[in-house]
A and B are shown apart, each in its own frame.
Chain A
Amino acid sequence: MSAPARLVTVGKVAINNRAAFEAAYREHATALTRLAWLLTGSKEKAEDIVHEVFVRYQSVDPPPVSEWSYLRRMVVNQVIDESRKAATEARYLPQPEVELDDPELDETWELVCALPQAQRQALILRYYADLPVAEIATAMSMPVGTVKSHIHRGLEKLKENVT
């Protein structure tokens, strides 16, 4: 019989399966950091957010049915919360500077970076995170219609400017 997983306590809640936690981290941390990076424009901030999410995730009991969906929602909520707290900072997010080595993708990426933050976040959540509009609306604390409007306007700007 193998040795039982070591118990780790965070606060007062016991984590009864470190192996499962590590597996979840290995499976989702990169994708979550990428999502957080797209939403924040800062890798350091993205790593902080993902780290905090996993810290809190350790105390989730019982485990969620869909681990990925649960963690993704936690990351999105955390990003939105931090955006609200630092409204001014968020409004002037640094532009994530990456070269995509494809002129069309580079052009699209530059256009996305130039979008207003709400439009950019809505598009990222819809077309990268693949969240339904209703869930985006909940995360961004906006009516569904407003989210649809952000997505529509963002796409329109892209269509107007892509060559």
Chain B
Amino acid sequence: MTPHATVEERLTRALTRAAELAVPESSIDGELGRFHQEPGQAPDAPGNPTMRSPHRRARRVGVASLAASSVVIALVAVLVSLGSPNLVPRTQLTAAQAGRLACGPISCRALVPEKRAGSVADAAATTTSAPPHLTQNAVSAVPTALDRPTGLVVFADGERYQGSSRGHVLASTPGERARGVVYLRSGGATYRFETRGRVGELTVTSHKGSSVELRSASGARFALDLTTSQLEVK
């Protein structure tokens, strides 16, 4: 391109070059064959040149329909998943399930303080309570104190809070809109607990058995019973 090329010249060259690249010389070679029509061939027979476009349109419509169907199926799947084990309603959570959610596959009694790492029990806990980002099991255990800082994600009162299983809130971002609902996420699964009332920002402080202890920003302490979804002030 010369430095003195006018805009019109540049425009013509750009259009020509783009068209040449988009439609190479050889790209229409096979198309001519589609015009060959055998004598006596029905006008609407496959291969009739006049039918090409409708066929292609039909194919495009088919592809579009398929895509639309996929979207619908995906939406349905998402809706269905709200009631699936990936989001367990409180009424379906047995004491055993709640215990596993709160404490992992091993019981709280088996847990040992972090400073005793290295013991057999500690090793077992670490192995069985893998951090959420390392596990694909939808019903895996809530991370324990040993798994920090991977955490338990708590959603409550229309806000989303992320906290470790035994620590402070790490992040707070707008997300969920439902009030009075506490979500616990663990191992890729989200558990929904419909509590009554608004408690504000929550921090998971501890857990035992089938309950999780939470603390609000004001310092109030709550116990969330995972089997009943009752959020009790302690």
Which of B7-15, B134-142, B177-185, B220-228 interfaces with chain A? Answer: B7-15
Task: Confirm or deny: B50 has a beta carbon within 8 angstroms of a beta carbon on chain A.
Answer: yes
Task: Confirm or deny: A140 has a beta carbon within 8 angstroms of a beta carbon on chain B.
Answer: no
B: number of interface residues (CB 8 Å)? 36
Which residues of B have CB within 8 Å of A127?
Answer: 8, 11-12, 15
- Check if B28 sits within 8 Å of A33, measured CB to CB: yes
Give Cα distance in the complex from A44 to B16, angstroms: 19
- Check if B11 sits within 8 Å of A104, measured CB to CB: no
Task: Confirm or deny: A51 has a beta carbon within 8 angstroms of a beta carbon on chain B.
Answer: yes
- Check if A37 sits within 8 Å of B22, measured CB to CB: yes
Give Cα distance in the complex from A26 to B39, angstroms: 22
Give Cα distance in the complex from A42 to B14, angstroms: 17
- Give the one of A8, A58, A98, A108 with max B CB within 10 A: A108
Distance of B205 from chain A, by nearest CB (Å): 53
Per DSSP, chain B at the interface is helix
- Check if A25 sits within 8 Å of B32, measured CB to CB: yes
Which residues of B have CB within 8 Å of A10?
Answer: 37, 43, 49-50
Distance of A161 from chain B, by nearest CB (Å): 10
- Check if A34 sits within 8 Å of B53, measured CB to CB: no
- Check if A98 sits within 8 Å of B21, measured CB to CB: yes
Which residues of B have CB within 8 Å of A158?
Answer: 7, 10-11
- Check if B10 sits within 8 Å of A128, measured CB to CB: no
Task: Confirm or deny: B19 has a beta carbon within 8 angstroms of a beta carbon on chain A.
Answer: yes
- Check if B32 sits within 8 Å of A7, measured CB to CB: no
Question: How many residue-residue contacts, CB under 8 A, span A and B?
Answer: 119
Task: Confirm or deny: B27 has a beta carbon within 8 angstroms of a beta carbon on chain A.
Answer: yes
Task: Confirm or deny: B17 has a beta carbon within 8 angstroms of a beta carbon on chain A.
Answer: yes
Give Cα distance in the complex from A43 to B27, angstroms: 10
Give Cα distance in the complex from A162 to B50, angstroms: 44
- Check if A98 sits within 8 Å of B32, measured CB to CB: no
* Chain B 2-38 interface residues, beta-carbon cutoff 8 Å to A: 5, 7-8, 10-23, 25, 27-28, 31-32, 34-37
Can you name 15 A-B residue pairings with CB atoms under 8 Å?
A11-B43, A29-B31, A37-B22, A44-B56, A44-B60, A48-B53, A55-B50, A58-B35, A98-B21, A100-B18, A102-B17, A124-B15, A128-B19, A155-B8, A162-B7
Q: Which residues of B contact A (CB under 8 A)?
A: 1, 5, 7-8, 10-23, 25, 27-28, 31-32, 34-37, 39, 43, 49-50, 52-53, 56-57, 60
